[in-house]
Each structure stands twice: as structure tokens, then as C-alpha cells.
Amino acid sequence: MKTLKCLMAGMMMVASVFTVTASNHDGNPSTTTQVEQQNPKNMSQTNTLTTIVEPVKANGNHYYVSRNTGRGRIASKEQPAKDLGNIIAKLQPGDVIHLAEGVYTSRGDQGADEINVPVSIIGGYNADFTKRDPWGAHRTVLTGTNHIDGLTTPRIYIKTHLKHRTWVGDIVIDGVIVDNGPRNRYKDEKELCILRKANPAKEVNASPGSAGIKVLVGKETNVTVRNCIVMNTAPMEGALSVQGNQNSKILIENNIVVNNTGNGIQCLSAWHARPGNGLPSFRVINNTVLFTWKPDAIASNSGNALSMDTSIELVAEGNTFGFSDRGGVDNIKKCQTITLKDNLITASKKFDYREFNTKMTIEEIEDESDFMSYESTGNITKAIQVPVSSEWAKVYASRKEISRAQVDAQAKAHNNDANALRSMLGLNLRANSVSLDAEIWLHRMSIEDALQIGTHQYEGKYGASNPGEIIQ
């Protein structure tokens, strides 16, 4: 199995590098990954693309929202609303919401928006909605606060499978930045370690254990998630999670999913049938998924860049999957219609690809996989340089995991009447609770760092790239 060691290298005036060495199952070094730490303000090196596109077509209405200039709930282009959460009650199937630049915390600073009808959300507009630059000049940031009155549900949650069990149409989420950093509870002001319990006495909430973007749809409904950033989320599930249904077509394209717990991208199904009988079809194309943590320091689950359900059809192509606490691609549920083509998978601790209980390296996939299609070729593992600030990288390199064995070793059984009874009944004795807390876990990343990481393709072809300015 692969292991991961982080070693700090020397500092330079503008940039520094820390080295990550991944080892094969026999413990011998196989991959050395360098993470380049650059000034996050150095955005001028990013190549941008100017394109002209048609606005999203819809059967319903178009609504407009501007944090900086909005007021009321008319939500027209001339008189936009102030927050998406303020107009959710008026939304109907097929509506499109256009979000201008700004920081959005939802209605009443609840920090979460749940929408139960199929709609589209398009972000990254300038003030008059004439052009978009979602990763540049006109960022739409969806976040919240860590107040006890806030919600801990997914930041964007489109859940249509209950009220619209069959709806023929498209849901699009394009050009929004979901940053849960302000929603998380950290140990202290240094923001180095998340806490998962609320403290009502101090009026602070737990770090939300939910997705940044989550979509659940009914039959015949298609989903596109494109040009989005999901960061600093602490789910047990997927940070970007989509559950398709019968005949759904799902496109997850050109997203940055960075510094999250759980699984980076999660592909699920509400329709369980044999292949060829309407299984939801997923295409995961040109995404950058880096630094996917386990839920906590002693957890033995999740921590994968990409995970999938059994009853789907999946093609993953052109992605960068790296720095996962467990694996690059996790097929533990034995999806039988999967194609992995031309992906870069690097610095995973346990495996590059897992099929049920069989852990594989990149080199072993084509030979040993039972479920991978014959078109699954061109996948590589290679050392990459990830531009991230030296401050964030130093903390990441110094984090420490805690093994379950360490916790068990410190647990001692209570000598009490309850354990005496359990012993007579042949049950396991109950031990005292032991807490070995990490000092560093999911330390907060800045939006500038996330953009540096995700706005260029690694090795010239793998992962996301800056969508640039889009003229409407």
C-alpha cells in the first residue's frame, strides 16, 4: 500500500517547495511530488479564455440576484434581489437564477440554501449582468457564518426527487465558489483544526458535516456542474455530490474541489437496475481534485478524490486527482460500467484505484481490474508542482495522523457493575473514552490559493482551467 511522507525543503524569497514521496505496496519510493509555494497574488501568469456563449435557456423565468446592489424580491435585471435565499419560495421548475459578484450568506445568514424544484444557478456576473468572469474579476462566493442559529446542511442543495419524481429538463450550476471556511468551527483563531461539535454556550455551531454542492434529482432530469469551486468543506460524503436517477445524464466538468474531507466528487444513483436499463450516466471531465482529507485524524473511511455508486455508468477523463488521504478513485461498491481515461493520479496514500477490496496502482489498473472498460488507457502518475502559499503548505506538511491502534492502546476497561454483567453475558467490556485530537485538520485555505491550484492544467492537459471572461 502507498504511504505518504511530507518533507520540507529550503525556503526561497518568492517560492519554496515541499516534497511528497509516495511509496508502492512494498514500501519502496515510487513517486516524488513537489508542491510549489508561490505568492497567491501572482495571478497574471494564468491564461484566460474569452468566449461568447448563449445564456441558459429555460422553460421558466430568469431571476437576478446581486449582493451589492439588490433589494426586495422582484429579482429582475433592473431590480435584483439581495440573496438567493430571499427568492427560493417563488422559484418554479425550469427557472434560472443569475448571481452577480459578491459574498452571499443566504437568508438571515443561515449559510445554506435548499431548493426543492429543478432550477439552474449561474454565477460570476458583473453588476449589470452583461458579462461573467467567475474565477477572476466577478467572483460569486457562497458561504455563511459559524453562529449557532446557522444551518449545517449543504451550502447549495437542489433536492427535486421527492416533489418532482419525473421532470424532463436540465439543472445547471455554473460559476459559483462555495467556501465553507467561514462556516466551520475551528479550535482557535489560527484556523488550523476544525471542530465537529457545537458550543451553544458560546453560540457557535459545529463545522458542517455536509457537502458544498449537493444535487438529488428525479427521473429524466439531467445535471451539469461546471466552473465551480468547492473548498474548506468537512463532509462525511462528497464535497461535490450528485445523485442521478433513471435516464439522467450528469456532466461534472472543469471544477476545482480542494481542501475538503470525505470524498471530493461523489457520483450516486437513485435508480438501481442492470446496465443498459436507464442507469444515470456520469461524465467527470477535466476537474482538479486535490487535498481530500479523511473526516478526522483517526478515521479509516473516505478521503478519496472520486467515489462512485454501484448503479451508474461513469467516464472520468482528463482529471487531476491528488493528495488524497486514502485513494484517487474508489470503486468499493463495484460499479461495473466505468472508464478511466487520461487522468493524472498522484500522491494517494493507500491506492490509485480500488475495486471492492482490491487496491491497485496506476500501472496495475489495466491488468487487474474486473470492471474497467478496455478504453481505460492513458492514466498516469507523476510528480506535479502545485502552486500554493508557503504558509498553507508548511501547515499541511506538518500535520500528523493518529492511528486507531493508538486510541485503542489508551483505552482501559472500566471496573464497574455494568462491565461485570457484560463479562458474565460474554459481551465485550466497555472502555473509558479516549480522545487523541489532532492539532491540524483541514486548516483553512484561502480562495486565492484555491485559484492558484486549479486555474492551470497539470502537465499541460490534466485538470481544470480558468474559464476566463464570458460575454453574455
pTM of the entire structure? 0.85
Side chain identity at 24, as an amino acid letter?
A: N
Most confident of 315-319, 331-335, 370-374, 411-415: 315-319
Mean pLDDT over 91-116 rounds to 97
Q: CA separation (Å) from 387 to 12, 235, 255, 281?
A: 14, 25, 17, 33
Query: pLDDT tens digits for 208-236?
Result: 999 999 999 999 999 999 999 999 999 99
Mean pLDDT over 269-294 rounds to 95
Give the model's pLDDT for residue 298: 87
C-beta of residue 151 within 8 angstroms of C-beta of residue 204: no
Give the model's pLDDT for residue 455: 85
Give the model's pLDDT for residue 471: 74
Q: Does domain 4-384+391-399+440-471 have CATH number 2.40.100?
A: no
Those residues with Cβ within 8 angstroms of residue 101's Cβ, 6 or more apart along the chain or in another chain: 67, 68, 124, 125, 126, 127, 137, 138, 139, 140
Query: pLDDT tens digits for 50-82?
Result: 333 444 545 789 999 999 999 999 999 999 999
Mean pLDDT over 301-311 rounds to 95
- 161 or 472: which carries more pLDDT confidence? 161
Annotated domain spans of the chain: 4-384+391-399+440-471
Query: pLDDT tens digits for 39-49?
Result: 433 333 434 34
Give the model's pLDDT for residue 46: 38
Give the model's pLDDT for residue 215: 98
C-beta of residue 351 within 8 angstroms of C-beta of residue 360: yes
C-beta of residue 280 within 8 angstroms of C-beta of residue 246: yes
Give the model's pLDDT for residue 433: 42
